[in-house]
Chain A
Amino acid sequence: MKNLGTIGFSEEQVELMDVATSFCRDKSPVEKVRALMEDARGYDPDIWQEITDLGWLAIAVPEEYEGVGLSLAEVVPIMEQMGRRLLAGPFMTTTLAAQALIVGGSEAQKSAWLPQIAGGAIATLALTEQEGDWNLDNVTAKAEVSGDGYALSGTKQFVTYAGDAELIIASVVLDGEVRLALIARSAIADSALRREAIIDETKRSFELTLDGISIDAGALMDADMSKAALAHIDLAANLLQSAEMCGGTQAVIDYTLEYLRTRKQFGKVIGEYQALKHPITDAYIAYEKARSHMFSAAHSFADQGRGEVAARMAKAAADKAYSHAADRAIQFHGGFGFTHDCDAQLYRRNAIWNASQFGDAAWQRTKLADLLF
């Protein structure tokens, strides 16, 4: 097989893994997760500030824009621990928006926004539309020349954390070509945002109506750069999602194991029954495989060709492992599993959410078939 990823790690990655492991565990116990689910904003601004202070938003930002100058490989262990603890907040989408700027932004765009993001400004992406197409170049929203700038129109969906974002990067079509538009929050009326009801109650997402929004001439990325940025975001998102999903898979397996070790039925701890023991072992094995793919995708991400295969394999493996583990977790908790109080549903919903964004396992496999055969 050609184009396959390899595995390795950096010292920084391991250090960040250690810090993120204790930070996410301490800051996001499940009671806190559940409290934030009821909160309108959906995350704790104090924790966001701590994340900023830790420099996590600056990790993959180049040094000349006040970043640390590392890569997404170092963000992966953080994302994994956030997924494991269901730590709520706009970390992933802000990181992805920064990636869009790094790959597709002009010098002026990068200088204007990257230092702000590294310093804690929330940024997000507005890419999906009514069709729910995972092809990011299937865009109908428009930019039209208007005065010195552009007038936007159309509707974007799944714009996560748009309510608090200072920058929204939306895909629009100008003269038949897809462009990325940088929209400052100040240009968006509150009425242009509608909070969406989404499957994962630990996250926040909005529908954004672009009609009536105008941007400066300098706020569009050029066509080639936009294309490159979209291709990059697609893979970067799948990489980070694979990490969030691996973390979630580990957590849901641990949560279920705890139950299997303590719950008694018919005079036995239920973990003795092979009807439960073997499938949870299968789930665990799938998790370890997905985690190897995750590290490989992180390590190989920057390699032309290999990076795409590795990232898509990582997302496909993580989706398969997470969806199955969380599905079985509900079942193995019996009657309790059917309740909102049982944490199994949190993970199952988180898995569905992540599968729904940027392509599920089957979609990744379709892409992989063309890359591999």
Chain B
Amino acid sequence: MAKAGAAKPTEAELKEYTADAQAWFRENTVTNPGFMLPLTFMEVSTDQQFDFLRAWQRKVYEAGYLGASWPKEYGGGGLHPDYQRAATRAMKDHDAPIMINAIGIGWAGPLLLDIGSEEQKQKYIKGMLNAEDIWCQGFSEPEHGSDLGNAQLKAVRDGDEYVLNGSKIWTSLGDRAKYMILLARTSNNEGDSKYAGLSFFLNPMDVPGIETRPIKKLTGEYGFVQCFFTDARIPAEGLMGEEGDGWKIAMKTLEYERGAKVNLAGGYFLKELDVMGIVDVARRSRRGGKPVLDDPVVRDQLVEYMIDIQAQNLNNYRRRMPPLVQDRPMGLPLMSKLARTEMIRELTEFSLQFQGAKAGYYVGDDNAVDDGYWHRAYLNSFSATIGGGTSQVQKNIVAEHVLGLPKGR
């Protein structure tokens, strides 16, 4: 969210900036540090990965290629968003590692720039950008995964503090974060809608009474934690908006994350799956002395996936072309997460079929195809078909909000 004064670059200015950014990422991008790099911010498992990605984000920020369009007075570059877009493009072009502080720069930061106080902006924004302060998100609860609006973690006002009791789960980087954006229940009045009693907090993680326990994922790795709040006291100034505004604000953060409302700080938190990488596995894998890619059944299925992937790329452009989405303008945005995550799950599963008996290997065995990348990618793909609203809930959302079907009870 640049200030109104941030001038749109001329073609020549943008060209020069783009050339610089491309050169910088060409020179500085490390794609193979000698250990496996996470494809998403939800997969940061080891200290080595964490330290690397944190240092990388800082380096990108200090070079001016992250937060370029955020206001200068809070640590941003104060430039027009076109500059940041060019920088993010350069990251993608060089297959640069992800930005680790996703919740900070993708969710909390835009929220603060939008509705935060001057003091909050001064306090938090820069630390998000340089990855000094890692942020996490506390929305889901053990008993309320898909039914987010029913969150039950209690926040009770006591003087200039709130006292928190309850638990949050599936918190990426929860054990490494300094702050959490937290959805908590401040009232539970009979007859009120479940959403009415929710409030939104900026929650410091280093207070007594907050404990985290790592969750071992189906891949055997770590990345998420469960957070336990036991009489944890946090400053009341962490409340965003008023008590009861929580649901509204949480939905706002989702909009930022989709890039609909404000300019994001830039960068990306999830790596696109490299489809040609799968074609390459099919080419390298052999059966009966011939590449699996020669098998007509495999070819047919791969083409089908490529048609699907291309459709989703086209959807992303088409959704911003009003004449081409007149009938159901919300259709493409609301189906995008569902369609994309399910496709990746199917595609990564399919990649195991090429490998013959070698599909039996896993990460850690030297014989594993691509060090077990595809097995990991498949198992990890469920984080996206389940997290952020399961595919089944997403289908209800599309059915009800786009197709006008009635809510089932």
Known: A9-B323, A277-B396. A261 touches B406 (CB 8 A): yes
Flag whether B335 is at the interface (Cβ < 8 A).
Answer: yes
Write out the residue numbers on chain B whose beta carbons fall within 8 Å of the beta carbon of A282: 395
Known: A14-B323, A281-B398, A317-B311. A289 touches B405 (CB 8 A): no
- Highest count of chain A CB atoms <10 Å: which of B332, B335, B395, B402: B395
In the complex, how many angstroms separate the beta carbon of B324 from the nearest chain A beta carbon?
A: 6
In the complex, how many angstroms separate the beta carbon of B102 from the nearest chain A beta carbon?
A: 26
Q: Find out whether the CB atom of A280 lies under 8 angstroms from the CB atom of B300.
A: no
Write out the residue numbers on chain B whose beta carbons fall within 8 Å of the beta carbon of A281: 395, 398-399, 403
In the complex, how many angstroms separate the beta carbon of A299 from the nearest chain B beta carbon?
A: 10
Flag whether A213 is at the interface (Cβ < 8 A).
Answer: no
Q: Find out whether the CB atom of A284 lies under 8 angstroms from the CB atom of B311.
A: no
Flag whether B115 is at the interface (Cβ < 8 A).
Answer: no
Q: Find out whether the CB atom of A313 lies under 8 angstroms from the CB atom of B307.
A: yes
Task: Say whether chain A's binding surface is mostly helix, strand, loop, or mixed.
Answer: helix
Flag whether A266 is at the interface (Cβ < 8 A).
Answer: no
Flag whether A186 is at the interface (Cβ < 8 A).
Answer: no
Q: Find out whether the CB atom of A261 lies under 8 angstroms from the CB atom of B323.
A: no
Chain A positions 303 through 342: 1 when the CB is less than 8 Å from some CB of chain B, otherwise 0: 0000000000100110000000000000000000000000
- Highest count of chain A CB atoms <10 Å: which of B293, B296, B311: B311
Q: 28 A-B contacts, Cβ less than 8 Å apart? A: A1-B306, A1-B310, A6-B317, A8-B321, A17-B323, A257-B403, A261-B404, A277-B396, A277-B399, A278-B395, A278-B399, A280-B399, A281-B395, A284-B331, A285-B338, A288-B331, A289-B311, A290-B311, A292-B311, A292-B318, A293-B310, A293-B311, A296-B314, A317-B311, A362-B300, A365-B303, A373-B283, A373-B293
Write out the residue numbers on chain B whose beta carbons fall within 8 Å of the beta carbon of A277: 395-396, 399, 405, 408
Flag whether B120 is at the interface (Cβ < 8 A).
Answer: no
Docked pose: A261 CA to B310 CA in angstroms: 32
In the complex, how many angstroms separate the beta carbon of A279 from the nearest chain B beta carbon?
A: 9
Please list the residues of chain B having a beta carbon within 8 angstroms of any beta carbon in chain A: 275-276, 279, 283, 293, 296, 299-300, 302-304, 306-315, 317-318, 321, 323-324, 327, 331-332, 335, 338-339, 392, 395-396, 398-399, 402-409
Write out the residue numbers on chain A whose beta carbons fall within 8 Å of the beta carbon of B313: 4
Docked pose: A291 CA to B314 CA in angstroms: 10
Task: Give the residue of B283, B304, B309, B406 whose beta carbon is less than 8 angstroms from that of A271.
Answer: B406
Residue of B nearest to A313 (CB): B307
Write out the residue numbers on chain B whose beta carbons fall within 8 Å of the beta carbon of A9: 321, 323-324
Docked pose: A5 CA to B313 CA in angstroms: 10
Q: How many A-B residue pairs have CB under 8 A?
A: 126
Write out the residue numbers on chain B whose beta carbons fall within 8 Å of the beta carbon of A261: 404-406
Please list the residues of chain A having a beta carbon within 8 angstroms of any beta carbon in chain B: 1, 4-9, 14, 17, 250, 257, 260-261, 269, 271-274, 277-278, 280-282, 284-285, 288-293, 295-296, 313, 316-317, 362, 365-366, 368-369, 372-373
In the complex, how many angstroms separate the beta carbon of A93 from the nearest chain B beta carbon?
A: 27
Q: Find out whether the CB atom of A368 lies under 8 angstroms from the CB atom of B307.
A: yes
Residue of B nearest to A370 (CB): B299
Write out the residue numbers on chain B whose beta carbons fall within 8 Å of the beta carbon of A296: 310, 314
- Highest count of chain A CB atoms <10 Å: which of B293, B312, B323: B323
Write out the residue numbers on chain A whose beta carbons fall within 8 Å of the beta carbon of B327: 250
Task: Give the residue of B302, B308, B318, B392 whose beta carbon is less than 8 angstroms from that of A295.
Answer: B318
In the complex, how many angstroms separate the beta carbon of A284 from the nearest chain B beta carbon?
A: 6
Write out the residue numbers on chain B whose beta carbons fall within 8 Å of the beta carbon of A295: 314, 318, 324
Docked pose: A296 CA to B313 CA in angstroms: 11
- Highest count of chain B CB atoms <10 Å: which of A9, A278, A281, A284: A281
In the complex, how many angstroms separate the beta carbon of B233 from the nearest chain A beta carbon?
A: 43
In the complex, how many angstroms separate the beta carbon of B315 from the nearest chain A beta carbon?
A: 5
Write out the residue numbers on chain A whose beta carbons fall within 8 Å of the beta carbon of B275: 1
Docked pose: A296 CA to B396 CA in angstroms: 29
Docked pose: A14 CA to B323 CA in angstroms: 7
Docked pose: A373 CA to B281 CA in angstroms: 12
In the complex, how many angstroms separate the beta carbon of A154 from the nearest chain B beta carbon?
A: 32
Docked pose: A316 CA to B398 CA in angstroms: 24
Docked pose: A178 CA to B307 CA in angstroms: 32
Q: Find out whether the CB atom of B339 lies under 8 angstroms from the CB atom of A285.
A: yes
Write out the residue numbers on chain A whose beta carbons fall within 8 Å of the beta carbon of B314: 5, 7, 289, 292-293, 295-296
